[in-house]
């Protein structure tokens, strides 16, 4: 039987406020235990929550960015359960009337195809503290610094059909929350955490299978592997005549498997009820309009602009809009290139800029772990380098050498490329006479290869290209070299 995997994601996005959602304690990461846990966070008797405007504003930003309904009036609720890192005995969350309802996230798949993943809702809630189960004489240690940190829980519809789609969704969401400045996106520090609801069904079936929720997916790679493992596990059980139990499972990256979290019976009865300590949250039209006006151009809009105005392929446009910093850098390169060659064709300039930003530059940033905002090669300097390839001063191959030198700081400023080309003598040989002489010598010195080529072995041609490049120290203009070689070898 052919099986289909159905995936929905719940993502906890830590909102980038300075203070907590219901108290004035700091949310800064990495403070000594319990030094940022005030009376409200540790639930001393008599304290009351006061909602942080900054947390609400970030939720509104998200709602507007995904085209959702931002509720004019939303309500907080208590989610009841007992655990030592939740000192009140309940988490303040939203249940019946979340602040954000609906909306969709548009994702681009590996083949460039675009899809919309529908969102169910996004609601505000507080994070719990941390339990440390290590060595405290058989006891657990509780750090409540994280308790009360604002979270936006974003719930998708079960619209994804493969681990790859789920990863594309998670990446798009990660990019968006950073883009609109509501979350720092730091996955190591837990600022962006995914749970996946996974089920399988025979392909073509209308009804959904029983799902399992997988927790502890703190990287895109784990998300992908956990879903793949879980789908295989469920298919194997059903094919053996078994049934899937609705349960919560934990992904273990060391063993690359999911396993059942032993949850006590009835653990999932949270007995939600409206939070009596908080009045309904009202969002006025004026506030909504103010937040809407403060939003930057969104990734989807930029992506479409790159395809429409710059003629970029969809996949390139998606790569370049992975972060606002990357998109801004790319646009600065395009602007620099337009300035360097005013008469140039814009789509060709844009494509060259895209190739360099997503290729050589991204590679160097990855290798060195440098953020694009701190790139040692500035956008305008890269534009000048690309201009030198396009005006045939250097070949693409030599340009990589120049780029490496620029990266290493051999020359600075906007004209770093020109300085390095001159200093190293990398200017391409485009003098046809000079190239012809060099190639004639090579042809004369290699009669055996000439005979081979003339007998129909096309591969021998590459040998001559190699020799010509060697003789010109890679400075021969590749197109010219090929043209002259063809002529000379034809005999």
Query: Which stretches of the chain bind another protein, using CB under 8 A?
Result: 17-19, 23-26, 32-39, 42, 44, 50-56, 73, 75, 80, 82-84, 97, 131-133, 136, 138-144, 266, 269, 271, 274, 276, 278-282
CA dist 243 and 456 (Å) reads 65
Q: Are the CB atoms for 13 and 165 separated by under 8 Å?
A: no
3-class state of residue 397 by DSSP: helix
175 token code pair: 């990019």
CA dist 368 and 363 (Å) reads 9
Q: Are the CB atoms for 40 and 49 separated by under 8 Å?
A: yes
Tell the smallest beta-carbon distance from residue 39 to another protein (Å): 7
226 token code pair: 């956990």
15 or 353, CB closer to another protein?
A: 15
Tell the smallest beta-carbon distance from residue 346 to another protein (Å): 42
93 or 199, CB closer to another protein?
A: 93
Residue 468, Cβ neighbours under 10 Å: how many?
A: 24
Tell the smallest beta-carbon distance from residue 251 to another protein (Å): 17
Tell the smallest beta-carbon distance from residue 36 to another protein (Å): 7
Tell the smallest beta-carbon distance from residue 273 to another protein (Å): 11
What is the DSSP secondary structure assignment for residue 361, as one 8-state letter?
Answer: I
Q: Compute the radius of gyration of the chain from its Cα atoms.
A: 29
Angle value at C-alpha 105, between 51 and 281, nearest 5 degrees: 20
Residue 96, Cβ neighbours under 10 Å: how many?
A: 12
Tell the smallest beta-carbon distance from residue 210 to another protein (Å): 24
First to last CA, the chain: 63
What is the DSSP secondary structure assignment for residue 373, as one 8-state letter?
Answer: G
278 or 364, CB closer to another protein?
A: 278
DSSP string, 57-80: HHHHHHHHHTT-EE-SEE--EEEE
186 token code pair: 């730091």
80 or 162, CB closer to another protein?
A: 80
Tell the smallest beta-carbon distance from residue 30 to another protein (Å): 13
Tell the smallest beta-carbon distance from residue 144 to another protein (Å): 7
CA dist 468 and 473 (Å) reads 8
CA dist 384 and 418 (Å) reads 8
Q: Are the CB atoms for 127 and 148 separated by under 8 Å?
A: yes
Tell the smallest beta-carbon distance from residue 184 to another protein (Å): 15
Tell the smallest beta-carbon distance from residue 478 to another protein (Å): 57
163 token code pair: 């681990």
Q: Are the CB atoms for 242 and 214 separated by under 8 Å?
A: no
What is the DSSP secondary structure assignment for residue 273, as one 8-state letter?
Answer: E
11 or 36, CB closer to another protein?
A: 36
CA dist 50 and 54 (Å) reads 12
Tell the smallest beta-carbon distance from residue 295 to another protein (Å): 18
- Of 231, 203, 198, the residue nearest 213 (C-alpha): 198
284 or 455, CB closer to another protein?
A: 284
67 or 87, CB closer to another protein?
A: 87
18 or 259, CB closer to another protein?
A: 18
* Dihedral class, residue 241 (left if φ above 0, else alpha if ψ from -120 to 50, else beta): left
Tell the smallest beta-carbon distance from residue 136 to another protein (Å): 6
Q: Which helix (H) or strand (E) holds 324?
A: helix 324-340
Q: Which helix (H) or strand (E) holds 375?
A: none
38 or 231, CB closer to another protein?
A: 38
136 or 205, CB closer to another protein?
A: 136
271 or 459, CB closer to another protein?
A: 271
User: Considering all CA atoms of the chain, what is the largest pairwise distance in Å, rounded to the nearest integer?
Assistant: 98
37 or 231, CB closer to another protein?
A: 37
């Amino acid at each position: 039987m052919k099986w289909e995997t159905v995936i929905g994601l719940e993502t906890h996005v830590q909102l980038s406020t300075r203070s907590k959602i219901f108290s004035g304690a700091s949310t800064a990461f990495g403070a000594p235990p319990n030094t940022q846990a005030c009376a409200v966070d540790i639930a001393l008797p008599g304290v009351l929550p006061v909602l942080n405007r900054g947390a609400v504003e970030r939720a509104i930003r998200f709602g507007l960015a995904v085209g959702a309904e931002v509720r004019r009036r939303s309500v907080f609720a208590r989610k009841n359960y007992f655990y030592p890192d939740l000192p009140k005995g309940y988490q303040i969350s939203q249940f019946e009337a979340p602040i954000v309802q609906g909306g969709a996230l548009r994702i681009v798949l590996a083949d460039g195809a675009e899809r919309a993943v529908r969102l169910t809702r996004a609601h505000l809630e507080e994070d719990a503290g941390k339990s440390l189960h290590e060595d405290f004489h058989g006891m657990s240690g509780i750090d409540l610094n994280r308790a009360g940190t604002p979270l936006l829980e974003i719930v998708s519809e079960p619209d994804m059909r493969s681990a790859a789609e789920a990863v594309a969704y998670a990446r798009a969401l990660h990019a968006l929350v950073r883009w609109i400045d509501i979350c720092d996106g730091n996955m190591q520090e837990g600022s962006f955490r995914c749970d996946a609801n996974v089920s399988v069904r025979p392909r073509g079936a209308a009804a959904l299978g029983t799902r399992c929720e997988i927790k502890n997916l703190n990287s895109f790679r784990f998300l992908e592997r956990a879903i793949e493992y879980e789908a295989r596990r469920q298919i194997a059980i059903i094919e053996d005549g078994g049934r899937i139990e609705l349960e919560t499972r934990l992904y273990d990256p060391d063993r690359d498997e999911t396993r059942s979290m032993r949850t006590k019976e009835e653990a999932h009865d949270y007995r939600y009820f409206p939070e009596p300590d908080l009045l309904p949250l009202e969002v006025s039209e004026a506030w909504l309009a103010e937040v809407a006006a403060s939003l930057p151009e969104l990734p989807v809009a930029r992506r479409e602009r790159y395809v429409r105005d710059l003629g970029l392929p969809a996949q390139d446009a998606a790569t370049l809009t992975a972060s606002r910093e990357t998109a801004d850098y790319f646009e600065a390169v395009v602007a620099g290139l337009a300035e360097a060659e005013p008469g140039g064709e814009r789509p060709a300039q844009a494509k060259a800029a895209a190739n360099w930003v997503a290729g050589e530059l991204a590679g160097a940033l990855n290798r060195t772990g440098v953020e694009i905002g701190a790139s040692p090669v500035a956008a305008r300097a890269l534009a000048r380098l690309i201009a030198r390839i396009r005006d045939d001063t250097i070949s693409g191959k030599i340009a990589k050498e120049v780029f490496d030198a620029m990266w290493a700081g051999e020359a600075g400023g906007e004209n770093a490329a020109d300085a390095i080309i001159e200093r190293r003598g990398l200017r391409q040989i485009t003098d046809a006479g000079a190239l012809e002489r060099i190639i004639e010598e090579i042809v004369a010195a290699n009669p055996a290869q000439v005979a081979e080529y003339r007998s129909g072995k096309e591969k021998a041609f590459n040998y001559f290209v190699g020799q010509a490049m060697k003789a010109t120290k890679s400075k021969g203009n590749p197109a010219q070299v090929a043209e002259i070689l063809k002529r000379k070898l034809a005999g």
